[in-house]
Amino acid sequence: MIELLKGKRYPGRFIALGMDNGAYVALYGATGRSPSSLARRFYEEDGGVYMGGIDDTVNTHHTPELLEYPAVRFFPNGVVVANGRQIEHITSIENRDARKQLSYALSEEAYEPDEYNTPRITGLISFASRIPEMALHIARIAPDGIDRSSWSVVTEDGKGMFISTYGGEDVKPTPSFSGDPVPVQLNFGDEKTAVRAVFDALTPRKGEMDYRVSCIAVYIKNGQTKTAIVNNK
């Protein structure tokens, strides 16, 4: 996963789900280019993780609701991660196929109403059934309207799947992520090592602007949930 991120100058926001060292893992990172996007951080509150502004800079954006939102929601039987308000459509984790649950909950979701038609991405780790399941979902622009796609994520130690809002090029207009999630290796060992490695993988080259905003790692193992956050500001 680290080499994948090193090759993406501007992935936007990204989610990777998988397994590492016996733990079920959600990795979520955010990058930004505008002052309002960069003036944000992840913070824990009321049993969840939120993306919020560090000062009033976010309010200068014409749609601040796209910049501040619940990012991670914890349930007794799983966790949901998302890059926007669509996370509010998932109020519980049901005893059903994880991919189908995301598809149903987000069946009317669209891409963000911004100049780049930014996709909405969502990940689910479910322990509602006897066998844990994981799934990813994206709502993105398509030639005929909206492409809503979902995928089951393999539950094999050391493996995961990655999805992002943008393809990774630092160009405008910024191309959306295309195709299916990318298989990645998850061999960090724990949440603190993972979040630091992911954040550092996005380090800009000398002379380039630092687009990093925040990263979070969620590791769930033997009924225990551990999180680690790295903020740029």
Question: What is the rounded average pLDDT of the residues 180-189?
Answer: 98
Question: What is the rounded average pLDDT of the residues 154-179?
Answer: 97
Question: pLDDT value at position 233?
Answer: 92
As assigned by CATH, the class of the 2-231 domain is alpha beta
pLDDT band, very low/low/confident/very high, at 58 (cuts 50, 70, 90): confident
pTM over 0.95: yes
Question: pLDDT value at position 61?
Answer: 77
Question: What is the rounded average pLDDT of the residues 2-7?
Answer: 97
Q: Where are the domains of the chain?
A: 2-231
Report the percent of the chain where pLDDT is more than 90.
Answer: 96
- Write the pLDDT tens digit of every residue in 20-33: 999 999 999 999 99
pLDDT band, very low/low/confident/very high, at 65 (cuts 50, 70, 90): confident
One-letter-per-residue 3-state SS of the chain: CHHHHHCCCECCEEEEEEEECCEEEEEEEEECCCHHHHCEEEEEECCEEEEEECCHHHHHCCCHHHCCEEEEEEECCEEEEECCHHHHHCCCCCCCCHHHHHHHHCCCCCCCCCCCCCCEEEEEEECCCCCCEEEEEEEEEECCEEEEEEEEECCCECEEEEEECECECCCCCCCECCCCCEEEECCCCCHHHHHHHHHHHCCCCCCCCCCEEEEEEEEEECCEEEEEEEECC
Question: pLDDT value at position 64?
Answer: 84
Question: What is the rounded average pLDDT of the residues 85-98?
Answer: 96
pLDDT band, very low/low/confident/very high, at 63 (cuts 50, 70, 90): confident
